Chain A
Amino acid sequence: NAGVTQTPKFRILKIGQSMTLQCTQDMNHNYMYWYRQDPGMGLKLIYYSVGAGITDKGEVPNGYNVSRSTTEDFPLRLELAAPSQTSVYFCASSPRGFSGNTIYFGEGSWLTVV
């Protein structure tokens, strides 16, 4: 059972480049999330989705875009990479938002912008 799968695991980008972080889950979860974790800091929510075709901004959405065309996939796009986007990115998913649901994380994507 794969759970939440993120790719790539490591990436170095130059300022101004674009890239997409891929995220796939095989648990048929409706809710999916993208978080970033800066060194020594907690998680900040970038975007989330409550189902296919529906996305919403989180706490720190600037510089990012998402789409949710299927239940399984929730890619995160960086259009013009900036050094401030150097971070670890975690994709996560959870079942429909009833109380007590656990959130399942991918293993993370380490992104450096130089």
Chain B
Amino acid sequence: GDSVTQMEGPVTLSEEAFLTINCTYTATGYPSLFWYVQYPGEGLQLLLKATKADDKGSNKGFEATYRKETTSFHLEKGSVQVSDSAVYFCALLGDYGQNFVFGPGTRLSVLP
């Protein structure tokens, strides 16, 4: 079945550091890929998405490119802020799937 693998956290960075959170997936066909963010005490919110190969999703300074050749959708940000501290979830929706599949989440802590 479909699955999503994320780098294990927690990740701790200083403010203005570069961020990469790795995400790889296993799925048949051409899934859509998503990054969701969960701030403390809140539900998950969509951060960005990409629906086909080579698409780049971007939002709030975060970017991720859908790489079918490496089955990856790594999340990047050039300069993180303390307010980016949260848990980040990579997810996919398969071509004919009815269910979203989520990775385990990566906790990011940004120190001032």
Q: Which residues of A contact B (CB under 8 A)?
A: 31, 33, 35, 41-43, 45, 48, 50, 58, 90, 92, 94, 97, 99-108
Contacts and interface: CB of A to CB of B under 8 A. Distances in A.
Contact of B98 (A35, A97, A100, A108): A97
Interface residues of B, number: 25
B51 interface: yes
Contact of A41 (B34, B36, B44, B104): B104
Contact of B99 (A58, A99, A104, A107): A58
Nearest to A94: B100
Contacts, number: 58
Contacts of A35: 102
19 contacts: A33-B99, A35-B102, A41-B104, A41-B105, A42-B89, A43-B105, A58-B99, A97-B93, A97-B97, A101-B32, A102-B34, A102-B46, A102-B49, A103-B100, A104-B46, A105-B44, A105-B45, A106-B43, A108-B42
A105 B43 contact: yes
B18 interface: no
A105 to B, nearest CB: 4
